[in-house]
Amino acid sequence: MKSIDYTLYVCTDRALMSSKTIEESVEKAIKGGAGVIQLREKDAPGLEFYEIAESVHSITERYGIPLIINDRVDIALAIGAEGVHVGQEDIPASAVRRIIGPDMILGVSASSVEEAVQAEHDGADYLGVGAMNPTATKRDADSVSIETLKAIRSAVSIPIVIIGGININTIEHYKGLGVDGLAVVSAVVSAPDPEKSAMELKSAWLM
Q: What angle do CA 24, 27, 33 make, to 5 degrees?
A: 140
Print the SS3 string covering 41-66: CCCCCHHHHHHHHHHHHHHHHHHCCC
Known catalytic residue: 19? no
- Which position among 18, 94, 112, 138 bears the catalytic label? 138
Contact 115, 134 (CB under 8 A): no
- Which position among 28, 40, 97, 153 bears the catalytic label? 40
Provide the terminal-to-terminal Cα distance of the chain, rounded to the nearest Å: 26
Contact 65, 37 (CB under 8 A): yes
Known catalytic residue: 150? no
Residue 144 main-chain phi, psi, to 5 deg: -105, 130
Torsion of CA 144, 148, 154, 159, to 10 degrees: 0
- Which position among 25, 109, 186, 197 bears the catalytic label? 109
Q: Which amino acid is at 147?
A: E
CA distance 161 to 4: 12
Residues carrying an active site annotation: 40, 109, 138
